[in-house]
Structure 1
């Protein structure tokens, strides 16, 4: 009966009613995953895969997509900030070269510029 209940949730989600929350709806009959898929108008493979995922992860929410948050420069942030604070008018190729020699981590000047801008360092003309 749990399989049928989960498919009702998916069917309601398709119409924007459930909002990603679990609501228990009990149907008056018991049926297979494939029969429930036919009843709710979704493909059989979708129903089977969704219920496998739900039984394994205990949620119907989709997995997070994309690369993990953060940057490989996060661990060297103090070094880069010190370089810019020592010389506020430094050009980006200079800290890029110093980063390679000091840590072995290479980064393009544009990447360093975006990294420092996110931390509040912007170039100001005098």
Structure 2
């Protein structure tokens, strides 16, 4: 992912366009893409600022509040499958993919092997 344009460059592009220059020529003059110039003007009109928006961040873990339920289900039913656990969570109103369930189980160190002898 690329980093945002500097605020100085953003302000110069917006000032050039507001003074009458076209977006295309301003983009060419400042060495940015036409879409970047258009989006800078849209941001300026919508917010009054050219500052970049938030990039990245952390996603909230959806299954964390349901950890006790998941542990209990694995203890009660060791032959439970990922899709079965996903369906049970959906019954409780938690819509997640089986990959999200798998990632949660791996991250938390939980296992539901049918054959406990095999590693």
TM-score (norm 1): 0.45
Larger radius of gyration: 1
